[in-house]
Amino acid sequence: MSNTSAEREKKKWSSPHDHDAGHDHYDTHVEVASVVDDGKAAIPLGTFDPVYEAKARVLNNAIQDIGMGWYQWQLFVVVGFGWASDNMWPIVTSLILPAIKSEFKPKYGPLLTLAQNIGLLIGAMFWGFGCDIFGRKMAFNLTLGVTAVWGMIAASSPNFAAIGVFCAFWSFGVGGNLPVDSAVFLEFLPASHQYLLTILSVDWALAQVVATLIAWPLLGYHTCSGDPGTTCTKKDNMGWRYFVIAMGGIALIMFAIRFIWFTIYESPKYYMGKGQDEEAVRVVHEVARRNGKTSNLTIDDLKACEPADYVANTSAGQAVKRKLQSMNGNHIRGLFSTPKLAFSTSMICIIWAFIGLGYPLYNAFLPSIQETRNRDYGATNSVYLTYRNSLIYAVLGIPGALLGGWFVEFRVVGRKGVLAASTALTGVFLFASTTATNSNALLGWNCAYQFFSTIMYAVLYAYTPEVFPTIHRGTGNALTATCNRIFGIMAPIVFMFASATTSIPVYIAGALFILAGLICLILPYEPRGKASL
């Protein structure tokens, strides 16, 4: 890249009237197609730290010039571990819950899921902010390590309180996977290949298959029957302990692959934000070398973006300040700056909130619901059927994830239509499951539920970043994530007042999905095929 190119970036970002064309430098979805209205992006005037943004644009161009190579494909694999962990451990919690309740006889079993969701929320906040202070590289490795250690320690739990604490601790690690891993991946990814973010959802589905495949023999054959009035001892209920050790071992292997066999470079944007432009340039050249290419980026290209009297703010305090600035009142107000944009922001937050309550309200307690129903249907081995059926559901998630990746470019009804249909059908099949009169019918309805809910999530993950203006996208994603997690914390509380002996949780979850699907129909933006910023 020439100095002339860098100078153009400097002029572009220094002009007070051109700031609205920029992007939040902590936004991990840079260059993804954004929402436009009649060919114009709904981005209000005003931004911050224009020098940083100009340098970020130079780095983006340098990464694009390098292209997709060996380093990025290796990164695609190890980042997939984070996606896998994000789904695998909540599945672990739901799968062990029936066995935990049989052994420890807690008054409120869903408190285990509450502990998990609190850990996920705190973990997402800590690692999300922390990776801007102590770097992406450290957080990228530690999240899996923390999860592995506490997951295996949880097998020693002597009572319900202990397993709840350990569940919160391993969820603290899990909560950081997607915020950190998406930042690492997208900051090294050429804009031409950012569709790979959607493809990563396959790892999410595969993780569920692996978890349930291991759970089937361990929990199916080494778990108390769960019949009311029976005594359940530790000796007869070792399955869940073997299971969490196995899952912790898998997380430890993934951690070892990341930490020992894969060399992760610190994000060049992180170095640049700390005022270490030389290190940023060095990393770009290292990535080019790993790809068998060369880069023309020089330190002068970055320095050309600075005014004569520029002094970089490089302290950790300034890093925190920049992060807080990306979520300040101006950025929140920017998401409501026009009636149309305000309506879109409000509706997408409500959709995430409804799904945040509906999905864990049913999915997190699915094994408990299955075991209770199968016992009522007269099944001779309800525990075995529970974990066999969980494996079948998980397998159906794989084609759902692949179809979701294809549907994001569906030309007939658009992303909005596919999102509305898959979300509403998820709720419809939940309602239908209450009509089951035997184990096979319950299995069939839940297979349909799993299939459409996976499509729903795949499309939702692609649609959401696109319905926010680029400059405010980071704040918009934070708002939707907050709505989702807060309502997720409410799920076990609702379940405690209903329990698996009634269909009330299923009706509530189904109604929430159908309402969310109807709201999708009135979303004002259809981002498919729109111009990129």
25-75 pLDDT per residue, tens: 333 333 333 333 333 332 233 333 577 667 877 887 888 888 888 998 999
Percent of the chain with pLDDT over 70: 73
Residue in the block written with tokens 């926010």: 468
Nearest CA to 451 among 402, 408, 519? Answer: 402
Average the pLDDT over 80-84 and give the result. Answer: 89
Q: Which two tokens stand for residue 416?
A: 């909005």
CA distance 371 to 151: 24
Quick one: pLDDT at residue 173? 92
Furthest-apart CA atoms within the chain: distance in Å: 80
Residue in the block written with tokens 């899996």: 144
Cα dihedral sign, 237-243-246-251: negative
Q: Which two tokens stand for residue 460?
A: 């939702």
Tell me which of 155 and 395 has the higher pLDDT.
155
Confidence of residue 127 (pLDDT cuts 50, 70, 90): confident
Domain chopping of the chain, boundaries: 25-39+47-66+266-328, 329-533
C-alpha dist (Å) from residue 294 to 1, 68, 193, 298: 11, 13, 19, 12
Nearest CA to 393 among 355, 449, 439? Answer: 449
CB-based burial label for 344 (10 Å; 0-12, 13-18, 19+): buried
CA 520 from chain center: how many Å? 20
Confidence of residue 478 (pLDDT cuts 50, 70, 90): low
Quick one: pLDDT at residue 377? 62
Confidence of residue 4 (pLDDT cuts 50, 70, 90): very low
Average the pLDDT over 499-519 and give the result. Answer: 84
Q: How much is the pTM?
A: 0.72
Using DSSP, state whether 450 is helix, strand or coil: helix
**Mean pLDDT rounded to a whole number for the chain:** 77
C-alpha dist (Å) from residue 75 to 183, 196, 287, 486: 12, 11, 11, 31
Level-2 CATH architecture, domain 329-533: Up-down Bundle (1.20)
Confidence of residue 5 (pLDDT cuts 50, 70, 90): very low
The letter for the amino acid at 109 is G
Q: Are 163 and 157 in contact (CB under 8 A)?
A: yes
Quick one: pLDDT at residue 351? 95
Question: Which residues share a beta bridge with 94?
Answer: none
Quick one: pLDDT at residue 165? 95
Quick one: pLDDT at residue 485? 79
CA distance 333 to 153: 45
Does residue 121 have a pLDDT over 60? yes
Predicted confidence (pLDDT) per residue in 174-214, tens digit: 988 877 787 778 778 786 676 677 677 788 788 888 888 89
Using DSSP, state whether 400 is helix, strand or coil: helix
Confidence of residue 312 (pLDDT cuts 50, 70, 90): low
The letter for the amino acid at 532 is S
Confidence of residue 162 (pLDDT cuts 50, 70, 90): very high
| Helix%, strand%, coil% for the chain, nearest 5 | 70, 0, 25
